Amino acid sequence: MITEDNSFPITERTRLKRLPARGAYDAQTIYDILDAGRICHIGFVSDGAPVVIPTGYARVDDRLYVHGSAASRMLKTLAQGADVCVTVTLLDGLVLARSAFHSSMNYRSVVVFGKATLVEDRDEKIAALTAFTEHVLRGRWPEVRRVTEQELKATSVLRLPLTEASAKVRTGPPKDEEEDYALPIWAGVLPLVTGFGEPISDPRLETALPLPASVKQAIGKTRSADER
């Protein structure tokens, strides 16, 4: 439950113990990181052993959705009420200090704890699948064929309420030992920039088709960023 100041409550599991100044618990920071990422890692225990699975996801308001094959071991385990830990990390740059010890990375990350439940309502399931598609590429859902009933049956969707979450963020230049600042060693930040390349058409396209609006929009943003 988000508090009155629009933050997540700090729990024993979400409280940052290492470098607590980098912690953030406000909902907007956490939502922004989740919305910017595309892959999460889901940790859980299966048959007494820890398992971590990378997968796609989507956020809708205060809920996180994951999906996959109805036969998925992960989804079946989580649907039975197993505790789950979901992480999303965005790497923004390499922090190159004057010493290896103080070299680091600039990043934004979120950790979510909770229990997931199976989505059985048809309308919510379709809304979640729409959100998945739009999270991968905004504007894509209206361009693709409608989902079939067979595909719906073959796909499981789980809902994880965002009630216990925290973010950890590092920004800025290196933090060297005071005496090292006089050393003739270059130090600074090497930003990591990601973007889309030129689209590659499926060789099995029946005819030459123009790029859809969603793809044009995506590569247009990349080109605009390159021009800055």
From the candidate CATH numbers 2.30.110.10, 2.30.130.30, 3.40.50.850, 3.30.420.10, the one assigned to the domain spanning 20-177+186-191: 2.30.110.10
The closest alpha carbon to 36, from 80, 73, 84, 91, belongs to 91
The model's pLDDT over 171-218, given as tens digits with 9 standing for 90+, comes to 999 999 999 999 999 999 999 998 999 999 999 998 889 999 999 999
Q: Give 84-119 as a DSSP string.
A: EEEEEEEEEEEEE-SSTTT-EEEEEEEEEEEE-EE-
Q: How confident is the model at residue 222 (pLDDT cuts 50, 70, 90)?
A: low
Question: In the chain, where are the structural domains located?
Answer: 20-177+186-191, 195-228
Write out pLDDT tens, residues 32-77.
999 999 999 999 999 899 999 999 999 999 999 999 998 898 999 9
At a CB cut-off of 8 Å and minimum separation 6, what does 144 contact?
133
Measured CA to CA, the distance from residue 110 to residue 88 in angstroms comes to 5
User: Helix, strand, or coil here: 68?
Assistant: strand
95 and 176 Cβ atoms separated by less than 8 Å = no
How far, in Å, CA of 212 to CA of 202, rounded?
Answer: 13
